[in-house]
Amino acid sequence: MQGDLLLKYVRSSTGRPPKAAGPRQWLAALVALVRERIGEQWSRSIGAEAERRGKCVYYLSMEFLPGRLLIHALRNLDLYESCRETLAEHGVDLSVVAELEPDPALGNGGLGRLAACLLDSMANLGLPAYGYGIRYDCGLFAQEMVDGWQVERPDPWLRYGNPWEIPRGDLVYPVGFGGRLVDHGAAERPRYDWTGSDEILAVAYDLPVPGFQSQRLNTLRLWSPGAAHELDLRSFNEGNHAGAFSRKNAIESLSQVLYPGDASPAGRELRFKQEYFFVSASVQDILRRFRRSGRPLECLPDDIVIQINDTHPSLAIAELMRLLLDRHHLDWEQAWHLTRRSFAYTNHTLMPEALETWPLQYFEKLLPRHLQLIYEINDRFLRGVARRCPNDGALVRRLSLIDEEGERRVRMAHLAIAGSRRVNGVSKIHTSLMQRTTFADFAALFPGKIVNVTNGISFRRWLHEANPELVALIRSRIGDRWLSQPDELAALAPHADDPAFRTAFRAVKQRNKLRLAELVASDCGISIDPNSLFDVHIKRIHEYKRQLLKLLHVVALYDRLRRDASLPISRTVVFSGKAAPGYAMAKLTLKLIHDVALRVNADPAVAGRLKLVFIPDYGVRKAQVIVPAADLSEQISTAGHEASGTGNMKLALNGALTVGTLDGANIEIREAVGEENFFCFGATIEEVAKLRAEGYDPWRHYHGNAELRAVLDLIASGHFSPSAPDLFKPVVERLTSGGDPYLVLADFASYVSCQEHVEANYLDADDWTRRAVLNTAGLAKFSSDHAVRRYAELIWNAGAREERAVPAFTAAE
Ligand code: 26W
């Protein structure tokens, strides 16, 4: 039946008979089939009736990493098998067709993938929600490795169009930059007009977000700078051809890339403009939909909540104020009351360099009205602070929305906190650090405002789609209610004691390892042994994530094996991840991984015992192959730096054991799976603080640990870079004389000895599998469904129409 329908779509959507259809035509037909199935649901979901059923969540994010949709949707709709068979009957492989779908890499890490998992869960739970972001023409760069150096290539993912998106020519909003302010009001009641700004248009493109077998289908709405007026015709007709196109180019540059290089002022300004561009369009759209409901503006926070994903969209707070004051003519108190009850802010990092601030200059030049509003918000806020804590000028300066030191800048996190009903961290420890350190003043001023919602992941994406064989096995024992009720995955735990189940579990892992071995063979031209321990470090390349610590361990193992070939070591270390284009140390780390791999993989002394591979161009697609195949998950950030981590959850869910520091969500994962099923090492947050306070001395570790010294000397000697012996000196210097803020050497001994336990434990394959099963079962509470329920309860008051009491914060607000 579905098969016939599919054949019909081949004809109608591609104009070819099935026997003449190539993979691209089959893709079009499959998409048409899914769209037909979800179309009605979608229109029902966005219909007015559905809107009235509960609070609507608007999730604003500069990044979304939704992954491919076809297989996900086919599985969600239970169409996978029938479509696979129909294609097979025509000699076509579904997996080949699925490869043609573009993978929207509209993000660079955990923050973007979290946004996608939360949207997935909101749809699954039937919660009305929209994701709002930017329709970047190019996603995050594609990573190519040339002789170990990262080369960034554009990723024009829309080259062949996006078969899922629906352009919404009917949803277009003007977004202005520049111009000046005119006061129209009477003296006691000023009313400002922001005039003369250069207006560009934001056009909506919708993507479906299907829930798992649920009736709800949500929307990811991405904004693209619009086409109207983009060519200055008059200028063109007057012969100024290049000039006429320059405006068009300037407009288009707004959505050209994610994270325009921020080394130059122009790049930074462009990012600032991107942020305003998408939040302005989003807030206008939110207000339009709300107005359509016919409810008075006073009900706004009862009907909507705008969740801002890190500070990047926090200009939305000033934008809502502007619209309420200037367009809807509310007075300040009303507008502020509604605004700060409509927003909530999630913080994803406490690293000072990642806490966004923008120069006042940008506001003066591009958003003068918003600057005025931010001054006013700040003024009222600080007056409230001064009333509560008189004579504490230092406190006022610390809390101010404006950083007065040096070039004056707006602290976006302070704006986000002042303008939100709740603020959340993404793991217990991260939230506690927010309360105790970076945002301690805010926490003291507004007790109860900073809350925790530990991150989660979509089991549909990270198990159901990524690991179908494991799902079939789990199903055979506990059914599949856990796909919609993730807590039920815990029922798997008793099966860890069943030898037959363990054997089957191990067999699935083995087949997944073979699949990864195929990927490594085709991507890297290296053959790896599926019987070795697959040791996986996959994430953005960043010093705090300590790829270097893993690499020092690899070199140590290499050195040990060269000395003693009889050691019972059999390990394949897999790295994957991208370095930010301007991050020299991260790029040099990649080169070092490559050069160490060349040496290790070619050395007959360690053949069959140790392999090192780097899989280029990490993204959702590659992760879906690597994650199910991992035995060991490396989560080795310097304690206090990884806000949560979500890769740690994906890997443990797929039955990898973790070697990790007590950082981010590792701490909660360890609690959930049992301490005995988690390899913990390294300095704790308190110890890190103490080490730093005492003055961290890397040389003490260098001189005190012969193995570490040998490893560093080997790298510094040019052993891995004979043609350029000094190439890696900067790495060694960073770890020693450079004072390394991430304390790699301090944790080396503890890490290496923990890895010895890992090795000894891995020798008992059956017991290892028992513990792997307990990891899978123990991950139940890290489902993003769970996280969404907590957001709904703790932050959004969603699910119910009436506003449950949110404690009124102090007068300072
Ligand atoms: C340019 C500003 C900026 C700074 C940092 C943009 C983006 C970032 C990060 C890449 C943000 C990010 O991805 N953070 C990660 O968020 C995850 C979801 O909460 C957490 O699990 C990770 O610990 C955190 O690093």
pLDDT of residue 800: 40
Give me the CATH number covering residue 181: 3.40.50.2000
The answer to whether 705 touches 748, Cβ cutoff 8 Å, is: yes
Write phi, then psi, for 613 (nearest 5 degrees).
Answer: -130, 150
Name the residue of 258, 271, 314, 349 to mutate for ligand 1: max ligand atoms within 8 A of Cβ. 349
Q: Are residues 262 and 363 in the same domain?
A: yes
As a whole number of Å, the CA-based R_g of the chain is 27
pLDDT of residue 801: 40
Question: If we measure between CA atoms, which residue out of 80, 221, 103 comes closest to residue 160?
Answer: 103
- Per-residue confidence band for 192, with pLDDT thresholds at 50, 70 and 90: confident
- Per-residue confidence band for 478, with pLDDT thresholds at 50, 70 and 90: very high
Question: If we measure between CA atoms, which residue out of 110, 33, 116 comes closest to residue 67?
Answer: 116
pLDDT of residue 232: 62
Give the CA-trace dihedral at 367, 371, 377, 382, to 10 degrees: 150
Which residue among 72, 545, 771, 789 is the active-site one?
A: 545
Residue 208: DSSP 8-state: E
Average pLDDT value over all residues in the chain: 92
Q: Are residues 769 and 642 in the same domain?
A: yes
| Whether the CB of 118 sits within 6 Å of ligand 1 | no
The answer to whether 346 touches 308, Cβ cutoff 8 Å, is: yes
Tell me if residue 719 is catalytic: no
| Whether the CB of 349 sits within 6 Å of ligand 1 | yes
| Whether the CB of 426 sits within 6 Å of ligand 1 | yes
For the chain, how far is it from start to end, CA to CA, in angstroms? 60
356 lies in some domain: yes
Write phi, then psi, for 297 (nearest 5 degrees).
Answer: -55, -30
**135 Cα to the center of ligand 1, angstroms:** 19
- Tens of pLDDT, residue by residue over 11-48, are 988 888 888 999 999 999 999 999 988 887 777 776 64
Q: Are residues 411 and 527 in the same domain?
A: no
d(CA 400, CA 396): 6
Percent over 90 (pLDDT), the chain = 82
In 650-705 the beta strands, taken as DSSP E runs, fall at 657-660, 679-680
d(CA 127, CA 120): 10
Domain boundary among 454, 489, 522: 454
The residue with greater pLDDT, 491 or 189, is 491
pLDDT of residue 263: 76
Longest dimension (CA), the chain: 88
Q: Are residues 533 and 417 in the same domain?
A: no
Interstrand relation of 142-146 and 149-153 (parallel, antiparallel or unpaired): antiparallel
702 lies in some domain: yes
Question: If we measure between CA atoms, which residue out of 587, 579, 647 comes closest to residue 617?
Answer: 579
| Whether the CB of 644 sits within 6 Å of ligand 1 | yes
Interstrand relation of 142-146 and 166-177 (parallel, antiparallel or unpaired): unpaired
**463 Cα to the center of ligand 1, angstroms:** 23
51 lies in some domain: no
The answer to whether 135 touches 103, Cβ cutoff 8 Å, is: no
- DSSP letters along 76-142, please? HTT-HHHHHHHHHHTT--HHHHHTTS----B-SSHHHHHHHHHHHHHHHTT--EEEEEE--SB-SPE
pLDDT of residue 158: 93
Q: Are residues 430 and 549 in the same domain?
A: no
In 598-742 the beta strands, taken as DSSP E runs, fall at 610-614, 632-635, 657-660, 679-680
| Whether the CB of 664 sits within 6 Å of ligand 1 | yes
Q: Are residues 448 and 519 in the same domain?
A: no
d(CA 602, CA 595): 11
Res. 773: pLDDT tops 90 = yes
Which residues, at least 6 apart from 471, have a Cβ–Cβ distance to it below 8 Å? Answer: 463, 464, 480
Q: Are residues 428 and 576 in the same domain?
A: no
Distances (CA, A) of 22 to 26, 64, 69, 625: 6, 30, 20, 25
pLDDT of residue 470: 98
Res. 183: pLDDT tops 90 = no
Tell me if residue 540 is catalytic: yes
Q: Given the CA of residue 262, which atom of ligand 1 is nearest to it?
A: 1
d(CA 793, CA 592): 47
Show the tokens assigned to 579.
């370095």
Which residue among 113, 221, 422, 539 is the active-site one?
A: 539
- Per-residue confidence band for 802, with pLDDT thresholds at 50, 70 and 90: very low
| Whether the CB of 455 sits within 6 Å of ligand 1 | yes
Q: Are residues 520 and 392 in the same domain?
A: no
Other CB atoms within a 10 A radius of the CB of residue 408 amount to 13
The answer to whether 323 touches 284, Cβ cutoff 8 Å, is: yes
- Tens of pLDDT, residue by residue over 500-545, are 999 999 999 999 999 999 999 999 999 999 999 999 999 999 999 9
pLDDT of residue 227: 54
Other CB atoms within a 10 A radius of the CB of residue 786 amount to 17
Residue with tokens 């490795």: 145
- Per-residue confidence band for 228, with pLDDT thresholds at 50, 70 and 90: low
Residue 161: DSSP 8-state: -
B/e letters for 551-590, b = 16+ CB within 10 Å, e = fewer, are bbbbbbbbebbeeeeeeebbbbbbbbbbbbbebeebbbbb
The answer to whether 17 touches 25, Cβ cutoff 8 Å, is: no
The residue with greater pLDDT, 241 or 595, is 595
Put the strands of the sheet holding 357-359 in their side by side order. Answer: 357-359, 409-411, 402-403
Question: If we measure between CA atoms, which residue out of 480, 471, 456 comes closest to residue 512?
Answer: 471
- Tens of pLDDT, residue by residue over 385-408, are 999 999 999 999 999 999 999 999
Show the tokens assigned to 286.
């939110």
Write phi, then psi, for 380 (nearest 5 degrees).
Answer: -65, -40
Residue 193 β-bridge partners? 182
Residue 659 β-bridge partners? 634, 679
Distances (CA, A) of 595 to 553, 591, 711, 717, 740: 15, 6, 14, 13, 22
Which residues, at least 6 apart from 210, have a Cβ–Cβ distance to it below 8 Å? Answer: 38, 41, 69, 72, 73, 76, 77, 123, 217
- Tens of pLDDT, residue by residue over 102-153, are 989 899 889 999 999 999 999 999 999 999 999 999 989 999 999 999 999 9
Tell me if residue 650 is catalytic: yes
Q: Are residues 549 and 659 in the same domain?
A: yes
Q: Are residues 240 and 354 in the same domain?
A: yes
Res. 742: pLDDT tops 50 = yes
d(CA 102, CA 137): 12
pLDDT of residue 223: 98
Show the tokens assigned to 480.
């599949």
| Whether the CB of 75 sits within 6 Å of ligand 1 | no
d(CA 188, CA 183): 12
424 lies in some domain: yes
Show the tokens assigned to 167.
């352009």
The answer to whether 796 touches 55, Cβ cutoff 8 Å, is: yes
Show the tokens assigned to 566.
């009889």
Of the listed ranges 82-86, 635-639, 676-680, the one predicted with least confidence:
82-86
pLDDT of residue 811: 33
Q: Given the CA of residue 664, which atom of ligand 1 is nearest to it?
A: 23
d(CA 434, CA 426): 10
Res. 185: pLDDT tops 90 = no
| Whether the CB of 348 sits within 6 Å of ligand 1 | yes
Mean pLDDT throughout 758-763?
Answer: 97
Domain boundary among 424, 454, 484: 454
Residue 348, CB-side half-sphere exposure with 13 Å CA sphere: 20
d(CA 795, CA 813): 17
Write phi, then psi, for 786 (nearest 5 degrees).
Answer: -65, -45
480 lies in some domain: no
Of the listed ranges 259-268, 283-292, 565-574, 614-623, the one predicted with least confidence:
259-268
Q: Whose CA is nearest to atom 5 of ligand 1?
A: 354
**702 Cα to the center of ligand 1, angstroms:** 32
Full domain range(s) for residue 411: 58-67+103-454
The answer to whether 697 touches 549, Cβ cutoff 8 Å, is: no
Other CB atoms within a 10 A radius of the CB of residue 379 amount to 12
204 lies in some domain: yes
Which residues, at least 6 apart from 493, have a Cβ–Cβ distance to it below 8 Å? Answer: 773, 774, 777, 778
Put the strands of the sheet holding 56-60 in their side by side order. Answer: 166-177, 198-210, 217-225, 129-134, 56-60, 304-309, 343-346, 422-425, 450-452
Is residue 761 helix, strand or coil? helix
Res. 225: pLDDT tops 90 = yes
Count structural domains, the chain: 2
Tell me if residue 545 is catalytic: yes
**309 Cα to the center of ligand 1, angstroms:** 10
d(CA 624, CA 640): 28
d(CA 359, CA 409): 4
Distances (CA, A) of 9 to 4, 15, 85, 88: 9, 9, 16, 16
Is residue 492 helix, strand or coil? helix
Which residues, at least 6 apart from 246, have a Cβ–Cβ distance to it below 8 Å? Answer: none
Of 66-75, 79-88, 658-667, which one has max mean pLDDT? 658-667
500 lies in some domain: no
Q: Are residues 422 and 550 in the same domain?
A: no
Show the tokens assigned to 169.
């020519």
Q: Are residues 735 and 590 in the same domain?
A: yes
| Whether the CB of 648 sits within 6 Å of ligand 1 | no
- DSSP letters along 535-548, please? EEEES---GGGTHH
**86 Cα to the center of ligand 1, angstroms:** 42
Write phi, then psi, for 309 (nearest 5 degrees).
Answer: -85, 100
Would you give the distance in Å from CA 811 to the centre of its chain? 35
Show the tokens assigned to 393.
């000028």
Mean pLDDT throughout 297-302?
Answer: 97
Show the tokens assigned to 417.
């906190």
- Per-residue confidence band for 188, with pLDDT thresholds at 50, 70 and 90: low
603 lies in some domain: yes
Res. 84: pLDDT tops 90 = yes
Torsion over CA: 291, 296, 300, 304 (sign): negative
Res. 457: pLDDT tops 70 = yes
pTM (2 d.p.): 0.94
Name the residue of 348, 411, 642 to mutate for ligand 1: max ligand atoms within 8 A of Cβ. 348
pLDDT of residue 187: 67
Mean pLDDT throughout 209-235?
Answer: 77
